[in-house]
Amino acid sequence: MDTRIITPGPYRATKLWNEVTKLFRAGIPLKNHRQRFKVYTNCFTASAAVDWLHELLRNNSNFGPEVTRQQTVQLLKKFLKNHVIEDVKGRWGFEDLEDNSHLYRFPLTSPLKTVPVCPERLRRKSVILKEKEGFFKLRGSKKFDKAIQENIAPPVEDSPNGTPAEETTHCRDITEEDIKDIWKAVTLTHLQKLLGLPYLDDILNPAQVCPHFIVYNMTKVNKHGVVTLEDKTEDLPHWVLSAMKCLANWAKFDSAKPSYPGFERDVFRTVSDYFCSLPQPLLTFQYYELFVNILALLQPALERQAVEALQICTLLLPPASRRKLQLLLRMISRMSQNVDLPRLHDIIGTRTLLVQTFSRCVLSCEEEVDLDELLATRLLSFLMDHHQEVLQVPLYLRNAVEDHLAYLRSQMRQRGVGSGITVPTYTFCKQISMEEFEEQKLSLSQMAVAELLEGLIKDKAMSAKEKKKKLKMFQKEYPEIYSRRFPTTESEAQLFTDKPKIKPPLLIGVRKTRTFSIRN
Reported as a single tens digit per residue, the pLDDT across 220-249 is 999 888 999 999 999 999 999 999 999 999
Binning pLDDT at 50, 70 and 90, where does residue 513 land? low
Element at 361 (helix H, strand E): helix 350-362
pTM of the model: 0.67
How many other CB atoms are found less than 10 A from the CB of residue 444? 9
| pLDDT number for residue 14 | 86
Dihedral of alpha carbons 166, 169, 174, 177, sign: negative
Top mean-pLDDT range of 11-15, 177-181, 342-346, 436-440:
342-346
Asked whether the predicted pLDDT for residue 187 surpasses 90, the reply is yes
Provide the terminal-to-terminal Cα distance of the chain, rounded to the nearest Å.
Answer: 126
* DSSP assigned state of 301: G
* Greater model confidence, 149 or 413: 413
Q: Tell me what pLDDT residue 447 has.
A: 77
- Which percentage of the chain shows pLDDT scores above 70? 76
32 three-class SS: strand
Q: What is the pLDDT of residue 3?
A: 61
Quick one: pLDDT band at residue 143, thresholds 50, 70, 90?
Answer: very low
Mean of the per-residue pLDDT values for the chain? 80
Q: Of the ranges 46-60, 136-150, 455-469, which one carries the lowest mean pLDDT score?
A: 136-150
- pLDDT of 417 > 90? The answer is no
- For residue 331, pLDDT over 90 is answered with yes
* The pLDDT of residue 39: 92
- All structural domains of the chain: 12-105 (1.10.10.10), 121-153+432-495 (no CATH), 222-392 (1.10.555.10)
The pairs formed by 120-127 with CB atoms below 8 angstroms and a separation of 24 or more are 120/431, 120/433, 120/434, 120/437, 121/202, 123/434, 124/437, 127/441, 127/445
| Top-confidence residue, 459 or 335 | 335
Give the separation between CA 7 and CA 235, rounded to whole angstroms: 36
Q: Are 270 and 233 in contact (CB under 8 A)?
A: no
Quote the pLDDT of residue 164. Answer: 44
| Per-residue confidence band for 159, with pLDDT thresholds at 50, 70 and 90 | very low
Indicate if the pLDDT at residue 358 is higher than 70: yes
Query: What residue type is 184 in one-letter code?
Result: K
